[in-house]
Structure formats: structure tokens, C-alpha cells
Amino acid sequence: MKIITLTEYLKQHHTTQTAAAYNYTITHFLKLHPKAKRYKYQQLVNYFAEVNQQYQNIQTRIKILSAIKRYYSYLVFTEQREDHPCKTLTMKKGSSQAIQLQDLFSSSELEQLTQRENRYKLLESRNKILLGLLIYQGLTSDEIIRLDVDNIDLDIGTIDIKGSKKLNRRTLTLQGNQIQPLYRYINETRPAMQMVKTDKLILNKLGKPITVDGISAMIEPLNVLFPDRPLHPRSIRMSVISNWLNEKKLPLEHVQELAGHKWPSTTEKYIKMDTLKQRELINKFFPL
């Protein structure tokens, strides 16, 4: 194979302007990281974490990533190394801020939410079902209000979650302690509550389909349990996802499926970066 320089390689694949910009970025990168030619995946993950902090503009970060990717493509092309260490790294446009894991709730804390009694027995039954969907399946309020009765299959113990623009459709397993309460709710409580014709699973106290605001209102009185942290349906869902990863140690790709995330990078934000094992998870599945 004819040996070509990096500059020549860049000019073959890009316009003159882009090639020059990439060359500048790569030169700067190598000046700061003289051993980068042999960098492994995790070292590049760490580097791009620094890039994320240094540059606020997502387009700038994408350009840097593209240039560094091209550098390693060049090394593979010229047989200076066999693997491309950052080929799978991506940056999602519109990426949200980091998850504040210290504000979230453990599984045992979430279980405390189910202990509140309600003086209205019908609402107590309904609330138990609703809380279960939040703390066991990690559903969003929007997913809950779109659930129909026939989305529940008590024979095999599953619940079918409808997809949306933001989240994927998925089928989740019900907890053992959800089966009997759901059976009683669907066959006894819900018919007694229902005041309008509807297939929606969760009803409000007026017997109509519950709304997103209605779910928030149901959670609001529970704030007294944790006055120092924000408690609402979204923080509950975030806690569930974090607990799947950090308490139960489920694989990243499995948690992505459970949560319905379209991007692996969304799930990755919930990993606590405090142990070697968790860093190895990022090394295996990380997409910025």
C-alpha cells in the first residue's frame, strides 16, 4: 500500500476547507496527547468528556469528534493500527444536562410512597396501581394516561407501552405484587369508578381518564416524605432508571430497552461514575 500523509488523506476525503480544519484539530489534539496514536476507547471517552465541558456549542464538539474519528480512520487505512477506537462514538444534538443523581431516590425510598393510605378506598386501589407503574416500570405520565385496559395481559404478566416521538414502544414485565391489585382494579374498582365510556386504564376521582396534571396532583402530597428533594413523576422515573443501572447492575442496553430510550447516550447519563465496574460499562456501551 502506498504510504500517504495525513494531509493527503484528508484532502482525498474532504473539501480543502474541511481538510484544513480537520488537520488543525488533529494537530492540536496530538500536541496535547502525544501518545494518542495508541489510545484505547476509554481514553478517548475521557477526552471527549473534557471536550464537552470545554465547548458549550454542540456543533463545535461534533466537528472535533469528526476530525478525531478521521485521524483514527487514517491510522487504520495506513495499517498503523488494526482497530478504530472511537468509531461508535456519537454526539446527540440537543443533549440535555447531566442527571443530578444525588437528588434521586433509592428503591427502598420509592417503596415508601406505596405506604400512604387514602380514606377513599377506590382511590387507594387506583393510587396503588398508578404508583406501581411509576416505581416498577418507570413509566412517564404521558405513557400512563395513554394506557388502555387491553394493554395489560394478566395471564402472562406483561404491559404493552405505546411508542411516541420521544420513547420507543416496549413490552414490560409486571412485578408479582402488581398482578392481584391490577386484577381487582380492572374487574372491581375501575368499573365502580367509571362514569364515562372509555378504554383508558387509569381513571380520576370523577371516573374519567386521568390527565398528566392529575398524576402530578396525586404525587404532590407525598412530598412531605422527602422535603429536601424534588418528588414528582419525572424524578420517580429518573430514579427507577438510575436504580436499574446502579443498584440492580442491569446491562446498559437492557436498561435502554426498559426505559424506551431511543438513544443509548440518554441511558448512559444515569450511570454513577464511582467504580471501576461502572466505568467498564461505559467502555463497552458508551455513545456520547
Do 214 and 272 lie in one domain? The reply is yes
Q: Give the model's pLDDT for residue 287.
A: 46
Residue 234 belongs to a domain:
yes
Instruction: List, for residues 52-62, the tens digit of each pLDDT value.
Output: 878 877 788 88
Judgement on whether residues 111 and 245 belong to the same structural domain of the protein: yes
Query: pLDDT digit string (tens) for 164-192?
Result: 988 999 999 999 999 999 999 999 999 99
263 has pLDDT over 60 = yes
Q: With contact defined as beta carbons under 8 Å apart, do 14 and 6 qualify?
A: no
- Residue 93, in any domain of the structure: no
Is the same domain home to 58 and 115?
no
* Residue owning grid cell 386521568: 210
User: What gap in Å lies between CA 7 and CA 19, rounded to an integer?
Assistant: 7
Q: Domain check: are 133 and 217 in the same one? A: yes
Q: Which long-range contacts (CB under 8 A, 24 or more apart) does 234-237 make?
A: 234/140, 234/141, 235/103, 235/104, 235/105, 236/105, 236/110, 236/113, 236/134, 236/135, 236/138, 237/134, 237/138, 237/139, 237/140
Q: Are 146 and 269 in a shared domain?
A: yes
Give the distance between the most distant pair of CA atoms in the chain.
Answer: 81
172 bridge partner residues: 159
**pLDDT confidence of residue 151:** 97
Domain match, 192 and 70 both = no
Task: Share the mean pLDDT of the chain.
Answer: 87
Task: Identify whether 57 is part of a domain.
Answer: yes
Q: Are 204 and 210 in contact (CB under 8 A)?
A: yes
Tell me which residue of 29, 18, 12, 15 sits closest to 71, measured CA to CA: 29
131 and 72 housed in the same domain: no
Say yes or no: 43 and 130 in one domain: no
pLDDT in the model for residue 96:
47
Do 155 and 222 share a domain, yes or no?
Answer: yes
Q: Which of 77, 92, 122 is the last residue of a domain?
A: 77
Spell out the long-range contacts of 185-189 with Cβ–Cβ below 8 A and sequence spacing 24 or more: 185/125, 185/126, 185/128, 185/129, 186/149, 186/152, 186/154, 189/122, 189/125, 189/126
pLDDT at site 280: 53
Are both 269 and 159 inside the same structural domain? yes
Per the domain annotation, does 84 fall within a domain?
no
Highest mean predicted confidence (pLDDT) among 39-48, 85-94, 182-191: 182-191
Residue 95 domain-assigned (yes or no): no
User: Is pLDDT above 50 for 202?
Assistant: yes
- 146 domain-assigned: yes
Residue 278 lies in a domain: yes
On whether both 60 and 117 belong to a single domain, the answer is no
Domain span at residue 169 reads 102-285
Same domain, 208 and 73: no
Interior CA angle at 100 toward 251 and 60, to 5°?
85
pTM greater than 0.75 (yes/no): no
High-pLDDT (> 70) share of the chain, % = 89
- Say how many domains are in the chain: 2
What CATH number should be reported for the domain holding residue 275? 1.10.443.10
Whether 88 is in a domain gets the answer no
Q: What is the mean pLDDT of residues 68-94?
A: 84
